[in-house]
Amino acid sequence: MRRRSLLTYLPVITLGAFLAPVGAGLIGTWLPAFGYFPTLGGKSLSLAPWKTLFAQPGLAESLRLTLLSGVLATLAAFLLTVFFLAACHGGRVILAVRGLMAPLIAVPHAAVAFGIAFLIAPSGWLVRLVSPWATGWDLPPDVATVQDSNALALTLALIVKEVPFLILMTLAALEQVRADERLAVARSLGYGPVVAWLKAVLPAVYRQIRLPIYAVLAFSLSVVDMALILAPLSPPPLAVQVLRWFNDPDLTMRFVAAAGATLQLLLVVGAIGLWRLGEVVVARLGCAWIAGGQRGGDGRVTRAISAGLLQALVMLASAGLFVLAMWSVTRRWRYPDALPSALSLDTWSRQASDLLSTGGVTLITGLVAAVIALLLVLGCLENEWRRGLTLSNRALWLLYAPLLVPQVAFLFGTQVLAIQAGIDATWVALVWSHLLFVLPYVFLTLADPYRALDERYARTALCLGAGPARVFWQVKLPMLLRPVLFALAVGFAVSVTQYLPTLFAGGGRFATLTTEAVSLSAGGDRRVMGVYAFLQALLPLLAFVAALALPRLLAGPQAGRRGLQPRTA
């Protein structure tokens, strides 16, 4: 009986565990933003921090960069996702792409950013491959392709990182809205494939992917680690500038930073609001377009362009990873050689002890956070099943809250809270801060497969005399082994990728591969950057490989035939 009652409270505990720090962190940031921060002498509310904030030189440019990269990246990623899926629905490309998306999502943002920087920089691999024989460039061309003044490099990296996420979320939504039937009807009424998808499927699918899109928009507007590597630095995008103010030796700048963090939040809220408005307008126009009856062509051009662009993105990401690996084992690679002239493992062995400690922290934090998240999520889902509840739309918003609120807008407040609780710069704070972001992703990954499991299996098992606990451990968990391990790998990957939470909650005492790699970006030794960024990408990839391979190993050689993930009815 005790067990059941604990399970009943689990959803509340879980929501509290990750909503309370976000909420308290927001308030803890808003107060100093309005001058109230007794530790630093701010004892009354005032607008002074805001006045100082708006007087900061470069603020307008920071805002421009933020909005430009964030909105452009989201819009491009969304359009590419929609047109690719519309044009290639049911084709073999989709199958190939689906298999590639999960590993791409697993690669941390910083590693993607480094990979792209190493490729597209004036002295990057792409230029080296075609110089000097095709271009005549004996010296790297004097063009800013990285940290360019319009943050286009950052935008590109954001697109590379967000398209896989949007594609996977949309593919999952397509199954729910029975897209194949809708398409079959539209096609039989004479509509071309792309127009049929846009008119008959997209309106239903968009509802399902709205929250993921908002999450992408919020993330793109407030990304820090990628911006530190790819965006211009003076002035940088707002989130980076806010982080600088927080780290300013002049402690009174904390007030300005808090105001900036709040401005960042307003920016995201405003952008989401504008996007929502855009949805209304597009829906209005779209209804007229749908009623107009245009059938559209065979979609060959759309297919060629969107599939081509997507392949280019995949190649960019993989080539980036490859060039990271290559730099990590380079001894000498002079411009404009296409390949290193001498290879060695020197960089790896010189960094070995640092790698071991930062890698260890990364590994253990990720595993602990992922396991805790998995236990909480499994408990919530099992409770939901036993009590016959379903998650309401509002609860889903709560789940997305940590993904919609910019990290920089609440982590300072959370840190202040952690200091007061005496857990600042401890393991508990570090894992907890990662958990805020790991939990939603683990839930989103596991909820659908868990709910799709034919409940008659559990009913049969109950009627065979097995208690609910035995049904959970011996029937459901083994049948869901694949998705459970996959969710674990997702959780681990999300933890590895965290930059700001590690900085704030770790209080400088914990360095992960991500924080190390990003801090190296200022230095400029590509070999060391390559080592850290490659290892940072390798850990989550290994986690995914393990998640795919383990069920097979556990079940023995017949596993392939046994089909561990049945999804009936």
Partner 1 sequence: MSVIDVSREHGLILSRVEISRAAGPHGGRRILGPVSLTVPPGEVVTVMGPSGCGKSSLLALICGTLAPALTGSGRILLNGEDISPRPPEQRHIGILFQDDLLFPHLSVAGNLAFGLPRGLRGRRARRDRIEAALAEADLSAFYDRDPTTLSGGQRARVALLRTLLSEPRALLLDEPFAKLDVALRDRFRSFVFDHARAQGLPTLLVTHDPQDAASAAGPRLQIDAEGRIADGRRTGRDHRPGNIT
Return residues touching partner 1 (CB under 8 A). Answer: 387-389, 454, 456-457, 459-468, 474-475, 478-479, 481, 555, 558, 561-564, 566, 568
Cβ contacts of residue 481 below 8 Å, gap of 6+?
A: 550, 551, 554, 564, 565
Residue closer to partner 1 (CB basis): 331 or 562: 562
Residue closer to partner 1 (CB basis): 278 or 566: 566
- C-alpha to C-alpha distance for 512 and 520, rounded to whole angstroms: 12
Q: Report angle CA 509, 494, 396 to the nearest 5 degrees.
A: 120
Query: Closest distance between partner 1 and the C-beta of residue 477, in Å?
Result: 9
Query: Closest distance between partner 1 and the C-beta of residue 23, in Å?
Result: 30
Residue closer to partner 1 (CB basis): 110 or 481: 481
Residue closer to partner 1 (CB basis): 348 or 457: 457
Dump strand ranges (E) for 183-240.
none
Cβ contacts of residue 23 below 8 Å, gap of 6+?
A: none
Query: Closest distance between partner 1 and the C-beta of residue 445, in Å?
Result: 20
Query: Closest distance between partner 1 and the C-beta of residue 153, in Å?
Result: 48
Cβ contacts of residue 445 below 8 Å, gap of 6+?
A: 483, 486, 487, 490, 491
CB 317 within 8 A of CB 112: yes
Residue closer to partner 1 (CB basis): 153 or 461: 461
CB 26 within 8 A of CB 265: yes
Residue closer to partner 1 (CB basis): 10 or 117: 10
Query: Closest distance between partner 1 and the C-beta of residue 380, in Å?
Result: 16
Residue closer to partner 1 (CB basis): 300 or 456: 456
CB 116 within 8 A of CB 156: yes
CB 82 within 8 A of CB 65: no
Query: Closest distance between partner 1 and the C-beta of residue 375, in Å?
Result: 21
Cβ contacts of residue 545 below 8 Å, gap of 6+?
A: none
CB 528 within 8 A of CB 520: yes
Residue closer to partner 1 (CB basis): 71 or 564: 564
- C-alpha to C-alpha distance for 513 and 535, rounded to whole angstroms: 8
Query: Closest distance between partner 1 and the C-beta of residue 396, in Å?
Result: 20
Q: CA 215, 221, 227, 228 torsion: positive or negative?
A: negative
Query: Closest distance between partner 1 and the C-beta of residue 481, in Å?
Result: 7
